[in-house]
């Protein structure tokens, strides 16, 4: 039984100045939420001082969307979890444009018991 889908996204080679810009990251969140028809029920944002990056978390009726940026490494990581089926979002094209990323890696995980075993070797 699948109870949701989780996407883990890593964008690298990003422009460090863009990764420090909370407005840009918020725009990415708005695009994801709008394009996928998700519904926000609250958010938390933090801009680290000086040369630091941005952390954002939006709670969704469907679960959550989170991001952490690391300007010192040119990396942004995103996590989207949806408990309802959603189409794939074009992370590659959109993050290359918004963050000037050179590489975008997306991992998709189907969540649920479905007979999978845990890391300790247990399971059904």
DSSP label at residue 88: P
Residues labelled as active-site residues: 63, 68, 83
- Domain count for the chain: 1
Domain-located, residue 49: yes
Q: Is 108 exposed, middle or buried (0-12, 13-18, 19+ CB in 10 A)?
A: exposed
Q: pLDDT of 93-114, one tens digit each? A: 999 999 999 999 999 999 886 5
Sheet holding 54-60, edge to edge: 40-47, 54-60, 63-70, 75-82, 4-12, 103-111
Q: What is the mean pLDDT of residues 15-42?
A: 97
Would you state the pLDDT for residue 124? 37
Domain-located, residue 21: yes
- Can you give the CATH number for the domain in which 44 is found? 3.60.90.10
Query: Does the structure show a pLDDT above 80 at 44?
Result: yes
Would you state the pLDDT for residue 114? 55
Domain-located, residue 121: no
Q: Domain of 35? A: 4-78+92-111
**Which of 17-26, 59-68, 112-121 is least confident?**
112-121
Domain-located, residue 38: yes
């Amino acid at each position: 039984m699948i109870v949701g889908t989780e996407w883990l996204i890593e964008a690298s080679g990003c422009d460090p100045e863009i990764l420090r810009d909370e407005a840009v990251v918020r725009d990415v969140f708005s695009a994801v939420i709008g394009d996928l028809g998700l519904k926000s029920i609250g958010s938390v944002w933090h801009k680290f001082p000086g040369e630091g990056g941005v952390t954002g978390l939006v709670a969704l009726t469907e679960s959550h969307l989170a991001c952490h940026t690391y300007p010192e490494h040119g990396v942004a990581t995103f996590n989207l979890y949806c408990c309802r089926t959603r189409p794939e979002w074009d992370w590659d094209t959109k993050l290359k444009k918004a963050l000037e990323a050179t590489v975008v890696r997306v991992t998709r995980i189907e969540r649920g018991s479905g007979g999978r075993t845990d890391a300790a070797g247990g399971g059904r």
